[in-house]
Amino acid sequence: MRTQIKLLAALTPVLTAAGMVGATLIAPTAPAYSQSLGKIVGSAKKVAEAASVSDEQIVAYFGQMSDEMDRQNPLAPAKNPYAVRLAKLTKGLDSYDGLKLDIKAYLVDDVNAFAMGDGTVRVYSGLMDKMTDDEVRCVIGHEIGHVKLEHGKKRMKLALQQDAALSVAGTASSGVKRIADSELGGFIQGVMNAQHSQSAETASDDYALGFMAAKQYPQTACATAMDKLAALGGGGGIGLLKTHPDPAKRAKRMRKQIG
């Protein structure tokens, strides 16, 4: 019993990180204590593993998630008008700011776009229908910002910490772990639907403005893109509005930044 109490006390910093600061050190019965301790130690181990996961492993998880998203959503074929348009407006953008990028279009009506930590960027046809080429470029710049500033990496680690039931299905030939296929869908939703912090969104907006300037695209397109999202705010199914701050306020701030 003393050994168990010492172990739990040693785990207190980790338990605190997991939000488990209310754990008791006194057990009513030895069997119940052992069972409870096992769950706590298991959760603490999850937290510790998530905190120390390597960059290689994070990229591997994102790669697995990207493949699954591409499996679930129709990618625009090379000769499709959306693919042709996106290829034209992102010409020369196979890499940027030290990142290798894979930018493609989904034939999905939702007004949305996302990026994964492995450099995957996906733009939905619904968003392309609403925005000009330069406005789409700004959205892409914003998503690249999330990757470059490692916001997705932080969300991934948080999701790994929070999902105590998550398991892995062995290892790939490279030695990196893979999320079990049966749990991948739910994990993707947890990562994709989590909101970035206000500071992260602001930093990515600033990155997008810098991206537009560096590529000699009009920065004003960033503000007009936000105007369009704000105008769409009354309707349902607007993906970017579910996980991003008020676009009207972002547009106002961007215009101040542009001067």
Evaluate whether 159 touches 117 at the Cβ level (below 8 Å). no
Identify the helix (H) or strand (E) that includes residue 123: strand 120-124
Q: Per-residue pLDDT tens for 25-41?
A: 333 344 443 443 344 34
Find tokens 């776009």 and name the residue: 113
Q: What does pTM read for this prediction?
A: 0.73
pLDDT band at 42 (very low <50, low <70, confident <90, very high): very low
From 248, 150, 144, select the one nearest 206 (Cα to Cα). Answer: 144
CA distance 7 to 124: 50
DSSP secondary structure, 43-81, as one string: HHHHHHHHHH--HHHHHHHHHHHHHHHHHHS-BPPTTSH
Q: Per-residue pLDDT tens for 57-87?
A: 888 888 998 999 999 999 999 999 999 999 9
Identify the helix (H) or strand (E) that includes residue 177: strand 177-179
Evaluate whether 217 touches 93 at the Cβ level (below 8 Å). no
CA distance 51 to 63: 19
Question: Strand 120-124 to strand 102-106: parallel, antiparallel, or no bridges (unpaired)?
Answer: parallel
Residue 154, C-beta contacts closer than 8 angstroms, at least 6 positions apart: none
Q: Per-residue pLDDT tens for 193-227?
A: 655 678 888 999 999 999 999 999 999 999 999 99
Amino acid identity of 135? Answer: E
- Average pLDDT, integer, range 145-168: 75
- pLDDT more than 90, % of the chain: 48
Evaluate whether 204 touches 89 at the Cβ level (below 8 Å). no
Least confident of 49-63, 92-106, 141-155: 49-63
Residues marked as catalytic: 143
> What's the token pair of residue 167?
């398991």
